[in-house]
Amino acid sequence: MMRLNNLFSFMVPKNNLFFDLFAEDTANLVVQAKRFHELFSAKSPEEIQAIIEDVRILENKGDEITHKIFLELSANFITPFDREDIHFLASSIDDIADYINGSASRINLYKVTEFTEPMRKLSEVIIKQAEDIHLAVSNLKGTKGTAKIKEAIVRINFLENQADDIFDNAIAHLFAEEKDAIKLIKEKEVLSALETATDKCEDVGHALESILVKTT
């Protein structure tokens, strides 16, 4: 009887575990996105370095949460939604955090000290997307939050389109106006990492859509 109970415990996921981990992960993502945005109002090189370090620490925290999700995925036979969707959702959230950190790392490595308006705008888009991702994930449990999830997905996709426009216009302006080739490359690298972060937010939207299709 004890062995049967142990087997049943292995097969049934802990109450709210995946939902709680995803909520924790996306809350951390929002904090990371907002902390990164503070770069653009930093007053000194020391403050810039402190922000970059905080962004890295928050990215590491996200890695730890993602690892917990994958461990629970391997340890539980029954999951609240498809295992593939859990993996895709966790990986996509992790990718966003990676590219936010990658943007900060590029700023640090290339010693970028002049922040442009497109960089600020892309950072603002990422914050809004992260907030919508957290809202959507926080409503995954049950069926009452379905409308809120759908609305958040629409906003995430709309914001990604905005980010494409910001990026395309910024790159066009760079190639048309910037005469310093090294500066051009540095700015393009930072902009590209930020734009990719918005693409990864859209991937989260796709993961959420897949979950809704299968569970509603």
Q: How far is it, in rounded angstroms, from Cα 127 to Cα 116?
A: 17
pLDDT at 15: 52
The CATH homologous superfamily for domain 17-215 is Phosphate transport system protein phou homolog 2; domain 2 (1.20.58.220)
pTM: 0.90
* pLDDT (0 to 100) of residue 35: 98
> Can you list the residues of the chain whose pLDDT is less than 70?
1-15, 143
**What's residue 32's pLDDT?**
98
Cα torsion 171, 193, 140, 21 to 10°: value is -170
What are the boundaries of each domain within the chain?
A: 17-215
Do 57 and 100 touch, CB atoms closer than 8 A?
A: no
HEC string of 59-124 equals HHHHHHHHHHHHHHHHHCCCCCCCHHHHHHHHHHHHHHHHHHHHHHHHHHHCCCCCCCHHHHHHHH
CA-to-CA distance for 38 and 48, rounded, in angstroms? 9
Please tell me the distance from the alpha carbon of residue 27 to that of residue 139, in angstroms, as a whole number.
Answer: 13
